[in-house]
Amino acid sequence: MRKFIDLHLHLDGSVPVATVKKLMKEHNMPALSDEELRQELSVDSSCKSLDQFLEKFALPNKLMQTRHDLKTIVYDLLVELKQQGLVYAEIRFAPQLHTKKGLTQEDAIEAVISGLNKFLADQKKQKTSPELHAGLILCLMRFADNQKQNMETVKLAKKFLGKGVVGLDLAGAEGPIPNIKYKSFFDQAKKLDVPYTIHAGEADGPDSIRQALAMGAKRIGHGIRCAEDPELTQELIKKQIVLECCATSNMNTKAFDQIDSYPIKKLLHKGMKVTLNSDDMTVSNTNLPHEYKLLEQQTNLTPAEETTLYLNAVDAAFTTPDEKIRLKALIQK
């Protein structure tokens, strides 16, 4: 079985459909047909923008407001990722989005960590090899009036660093509020030695990526629109900045419009540190094996190029040197 590494995977955008059904039943919510559920949870080719894409997070977020729900979702997702052949994943979520029914951000983080730990313990008992290891990235949100919540997330990332949490991110609708407005949070993260990635160059163009670089980002969530700016592309190559590319998602949000001209291969051959990821499995109705297959079919991605993408992901992962040795050994097998 092939082995995969996903560095850019949103928890709320990847809640397994079977888990949504199970939790809706537990919460006595009206049952939906499979077609109604698909319309609530996933986009199709008619999706016009990132804003429309983000509407699909409404139902999952209703089901992510208790410790039990969060623990269940992360556990079920990890089981699914393991079945797909993943050996390492970084799962991101914004703790401040899970406080609508009385949980604190810290409660939400602890619940997700407990789901992760339960999965890891069960995997050990089952003695299945190779093991799937995972880390959690906490997202700050691009809202107008949540400075206090964002700073709390930064501090909690430090508190739980190495205990399940591996880093920070900035997420949410890109464009209305420039990335640079959030610089103070990432200055603080840097002081606390918390690694981070920043969403940029998806709905917004090259300038958004430049701002992320000015904030010290060594990894960029998406970043695909650097292709519009040759000078920026050269800067990213020179600095060996890693792009977390998500092909199907970029088609859905209209960051890019034709899969057969998706530039991951071209960027790879220029020397860019690109990786391939799933982003939002349920919203985009995809998974990482599907993403690789799609690019093999539509862009003639070769096994040698895929190996380079995997190795780029290992180098960029927010994990320990020992874990990187394990992952490289698995890939080289």
More confident residue, 153 or 173: 153
- 227-271, pLDDT tens digit by residue? 999 999 999 999 999 999 999 999 888 888 788 889 999 999 999
Domain of 257, in residue numbers: 4-320
pLDDT of 131 > 90? The answer is yes
pLDDT at 314: 98
Residue 105 lies in a domain: yes
Instruction: In whole angstroms, give the CA distance from residue 15 to residue 283.
Output: 9
Residue 309 lies in a domain: yes
> Do residues 274 and 299 lie in contact, with contact meaning Cβ atoms separated by under 8 Å?
no
Rg (CA), the chain: 19
Q: Scanning the structure block, which residue is given the tokens 């949980």?
A: 103
Residue 333 lies in a domain: no
Catalytic residue among 202, 291, 305, 306: 202
Where residue 23 falls among pLDDT bands split at 50, 70, 90? very high
Q: Domain containing 199 — which CATH number?
A: 3.20.20.140
Q: Is the dihedral of CA 9, 114, 172, 219 positive or negative?
A: negative
What mean pLDDT comes out for the span 194-219?
95
Q: What is the pTM of this model?
A: 0.96
- 300-330, pLDDT tens digit by residue? 999 999 999 999 999 999 999 999 999 999 9
What mean pLDDT comes out for the span 141-170?
97
Residue 332 lies in a domain: no
pLDDT at 93: 98
Name the domain count of the chain.
1
**Three-state DSSP class for residue 87:** strand
> Do residues 85 and 2 lie in contact, with contact meaning Cβ atoms separated by under 8 Å?
yes
Residue 329 lies in a domain: no
Question: Known catalytic residue: 202?
Answer: yes
Residue 327 lies in a domain: no
Residue 38 lies in a domain: yes
pLDDT at 256: 80
Give the mean pLDDT of the chain: 95
